[in-house]
Amino acid sequence: MTRLSPVSRLIIAFALIAIAVAWVPLSAQYHRLYDTVYRLTWLERDLEHLNAHYGVRITTDLTPDDYRPEWLDDDTGQLATGSKIVLTSNADDFARFVRLITPEIKRYAPALIRQHLTRVYCLDKLTLYDAPFGGTYNIAQSSLYLLNKNDFSLSSWMKETFHHELSSMLMKKQGFDEGAWRQAAGLAFRYQQDENPWFQWMYLRGYVDPVADTTVFFKRGLLRHYSETGVENDFNSYAQFVFMRPDTMQSLIAQYPPIARKYQVFKDFYLGIDPGLAPVFAAIDG
């Protein structure tokens, strides 16, 4: 076998490094090209299908009349100080958003979506009272406001956010049993929000120190630190994991009894309002 000289090995090493460095931008360029192709070919088809079969519109057509009332200053009628909403203006970014969110909407029964969701607003920025948000909802208008990320590596995050926010609408409109949820966590369980009413405010503004050992939360039946802010955000986190991280959910259920009990409550609730979601839970239950 011919041995490579030190110089040859060095050249090959530099070439491999160059290829690795170039791959990320090339991959990003590929995804951007795909977004353009999607916009020119299938975007209108998918938007029309969602509107016709699910009664929902994905849009950037957002005006102050579509804001939640508490976002507005009582005197001026404009966004309150420290709040900012920026609509997505880039056509390819919007196309990508539609491409990613459409399959997630279709995982639910059309009748359920028609009952609970009419608009999904695509935003580039959502800041409320100096705190950045990935998304929120307007139950009065059956609308979701979701942050669009043009980084393809955040595709799963965007999908998780959709399920996160929709779960709030479902639990509030379908009479979710909060008592059963708390009981599944354990009779002595208390959220940090229960003990400190300012906890969520502090968390969102970065005043709460992160916890490195996530098993602290798992043992409490929580999936992440944010879940300490109360039942709704705890429930939202289960929606994210169930729909987008079934393998992780399966592992946590096997290891932590409180998570297993709360998962069962979550599963019973979702299948009670949409039996067609059985495949979502089959991916976890095996």
Dump pLDDT digits (tens) for 197-235: 999 989 988 899 988 889 999 999 999 999 999 999 999
pLDDT of residue 28: 66
pLDDT of residue 8: 67
**Structural domain boundaries in the chain:** 20-173, 178-285
Give the containing element (helix H, strand E) for 145.
strand 143-147
| Tokens 């709704």 sit on residue | 232
158: nearest Cα among 204, 214, 93, 206 = 93
Q: Please say whether the beta carbons of 150 and 96 come within 8 A.
A: yes
Quote the tokens at residue 265. 């409550």
pTM: 0.88
Please give the share of the chain, as a percent, with pLDDT higher than 70.
89
pLDDT of residue 21: 43
> What is the rounded distance in angstroms from the CA atom of residue 283 to the CA atom of residue 246?
6
Quote the tokens at residue 6. 């030190």
Model confidence at 245, in pLDDT bands (50, 70, 90)?
A: very high
Which amino acid, residue 215? T
Which amino acid, residue 176? F
With 70 as the cut, is the pLDDT of residue 4 above it? no
pLDDT averaged over every residue in the chain: 90
With 80 as the cut, is the pLDDT of residue 151 above it? no
Instruction: Lowest mean pLDDT of 20-34, 56-70, 222-236, 250-264, name the range.
Output: 20-34
Model confidence at 17, in pLDDT bands (50, 70, 90)?
A: very low
Quote the tokens at residue 258. 């409180």
